[in-house]
Amino acid sequence: MLTFTALGPFQAWADGTPLDLGGQRQRAVLARLLVAGGRAVPVNTLIDELWPGGPPAQALSTIQGYVSRLRRALEPGRAPREQAGVLVSASPGYALRARAEEVDAWHFEALMRTDGTPAQVWAAMDSALGLWRGPALAEFGELSWAATEASRLEELRLIAVERRAGAGLTLGRATSLVADLEAHASAYPLREEGWRLLAVALYRTGRQGDALAALRRARAVWRDELGLDLSAGLKSLEADMLAQRLDEPQAAPAAVREPGVLRVLVADDQALVRAGLRAMLESEAGVEPVGEASDGEEAIAAARTERPDVALLDIQMPRLDGLAAARRILAGERPPKVVMMTTFGSDENLYAALRAGVSGFVLKTSAPEQFLAAIRAAAAGDSLIDPAVTTRLIAAFAGRTDPASPPALAGLSDDRLDVLKLVARGLTDRQIGQTLALAEEEVGLVVKGLLEHLGLFDRAQLVMAAYESGLVTPGAK
């Protein structure tokens, strides 16, 4: 069995035996394809990202040589003219073909999506954390793509630590968790959830004084580092402890919901923008603003306490940006749908947001109807990605070719490809149905079939697949 490890020293293994992957830059080719999650990486992107200071004259042939040698290492028994099955050609570049359980980083992310009972969450997070053997992709840390991915994976690891602890508190395991949570809060003192979990664990073991002392430590750190007092959530926890109202491990209160009303959280660092969005939501029947946040940390706390259906997040915010906040919100239990807001639609972080699982993008300059359409589409399990955002975003990453039958999409019928093209343009199921004269429910089934066929998890990844395969090209109509 062939396996790959990136959550620690980067390596490929055949039945538990490490394979010779060659030198640093050749190994980086395989690592970059692993980071792409099975999607094609254009050759031009590989060249630019492996030689950020400027590629050599023979960069293309060098990449081809790296790929050839990696293929021999990964599939030593493959006949000379037999098609590769692991490191495959996928226009306009290459892709890594493997199952999620064969790549530790992919398996880790699959486990992170686990929801269910506290026991199920505990078991999944325990397994996810057990996959880590050290810092991710550390040997490629000087390359920006590797540093970005390592940061993303590390954020998910911290969320896994906190989700495991939260489940453990519900299961009555506070005593065994205190030491780990103490280390976690000390190592990452700006993470609100770490302090909350530590304080609750201490309180549940009968150490009320230590629990309050932990919150005082958090307040001192935040004042020194950020010039801020405790968040509203931690202040509320402190007050409950002082009043001895904390009888059970703290959980987010159930929100009172009016039937049929979409509850929307708004997060933007500009008060004027928040006011405008609140006024828009209040004027729309069937939509209710339920909270506001001016930075990513506040957005995470509000999502936990307010339990909105949809969170509108600005991608650029102080203290913790919208992308990091979206990752943490989406990794939580029963998360809301997330729609990102952007000013220019050209921020490279939007590409990473697609991978995080957001349900749409809207430009801040969009008409109210566009915001409301995105909110309703997200709440319905659909997505709406502003075409102006999509074309400008993917242009930096997608290939420029438009092959008649991209290898990555082999086996798809013309009618399915038509649906995929419209998904990539940011159309909702209803809009696609109107365009192709199909019932909305039928479009939904086709989209589900596309996800299964391509081994993807959410609709936003279909947009990436369409652009990266060359089926749709930036700016094309």
pLDDT digits (tens, 9 = 90+) for 335-394: 899 998 887 554 455 666 666 678 878 888 778 887 888 888 788 776 666 655 555 555
User: At a CB cut-off of 8 Å and minimum separation 6, what does 311 contact?
Assistant: 264, 265, 267, 299, 303, 326, 329, 336, 337, 338, 339
Residue whose structure tokens are 């602890």: 165
Is cis: bond before 92, omega within 30 of 0? yes
Contact 236, 253 (CB under 8 A): no
Do residue 52 and residue 85 come from a single domain?
yes
The residue out of 337, 370, 394 marking a domain boundary is 394
The C-alpha atoms of residue 246 and residue 256 are separated, in whole angstroms, by 21
The C-alpha atoms of residue 459 and residue 385 are separated, in whole angstroms, by 11
The C-alpha atoms of residue 131 and residue 32 are separated, in whole angstroms, by 20
Structural domain including 457 reads 407-468
Question: Hey, what are 219's tokens?
Answer: 């307040």
At residue 214, the pLDDT reads 95
Do residue 91 and residue 179 come from a single domain?
no
Whether 463 is in a domain gets the answer yes
What are the two backbone dihedrals, phi and then psi, of residue 462, each rounded to the nearest 5 degrees? -65, -35
Q: What CATH number does residue 152 fall under? A: 1.25.40.10
Whether 275 is in a domain gets the answer yes
- Cα dihedral sign for 387, 390, 396, 399? negative
At residue 398, the pLDDT reads 46
Contact 266, 291 (CB under 8 A): yes
Do residue 274 and residue 229 come from a single domain?
no
Do residue 282 and residue 387 come from a single domain?
yes
At residue 477, the pLDDT reads 46
What are the two backbone dihedrals, phi and then psi, of residue 266, each rounded to the nearest 5 degrees? -115, 125
Contact 440, 434 (CB under 8 A): no
Do residue 77 and residue 34 come from a single domain?
yes
Buried b or exposed e, range 52-75, using 16+ CB within 10 angstroms = eeebeeebeebbeebbebbbebbb
Alpha carbon dihedral 371, 375, 380, 383, in 10-degree steps, equals: 60
User: At a CB cut-off of 8 Å and minimum separation 6, what does 199 contact?
Assistant: 211, 212, 214, 215, 234, 237, 238, 241
At residue 255, the pLDDT reads 45
Q: What CATH number does residue 11 fall under? A: 1.10.10.10
Q: Is the pTM of this model over 0.95?
A: no
Do residue 188 and residue 100 come from a single domain?
no
| Spans in the chain with pLDDT lower than 70 | 247-259, 344-356, 382-408, 410, 456-458, 460-461, 464, 467-468, 470, 472-477
Whether 250 is in a domain gets the answer no
Do residue 267 and residue 288 come from a single domain?
yes
Q: Would you give the distance in Å from CA 105 to the centre of its chain?
A: 13
Do residue 277 and residue 180 come from a single domain?
no
Whether 191 is in a domain gets the answer yes
Do residue 279 and residue 379 come from a single domain?
yes
Do residue 170 and residue 204 come from a single domain?
yes
Do residue 283 and residue 387 come from a single domain?
yes
User: At a CB cut-off of 8 Å and minimum separation 6, what does 250 contact?
Assistant: 196, 200, 237, 240
Q: How many domains does the chain have?
A: 4
The C-alpha atoms of residue 49 and residue 202 are separated, in whole angstroms, by 47
For 414-440, the pLDDT digits (tens) are: 888 888 888 877 777 788 888 888 888
Q: What is the DSSP letter of 469?
A: T
Contact 55, 61 (CB under 8 A): no
Whether 124 is in a domain gets the answer no
Alpha helices, H only, 135-231 = 144-170, 174-187, 192-204, 208-226
For 101-114, the pLDDT digits (tens) are: 999 999 999 999 88
Whole-Å CA distances, 241 to 60, 133, 196, 215: 63, 37, 12, 11
Contact 77, 26 (CB under 8 A): no
At residue 129, the pLDDT reads 95
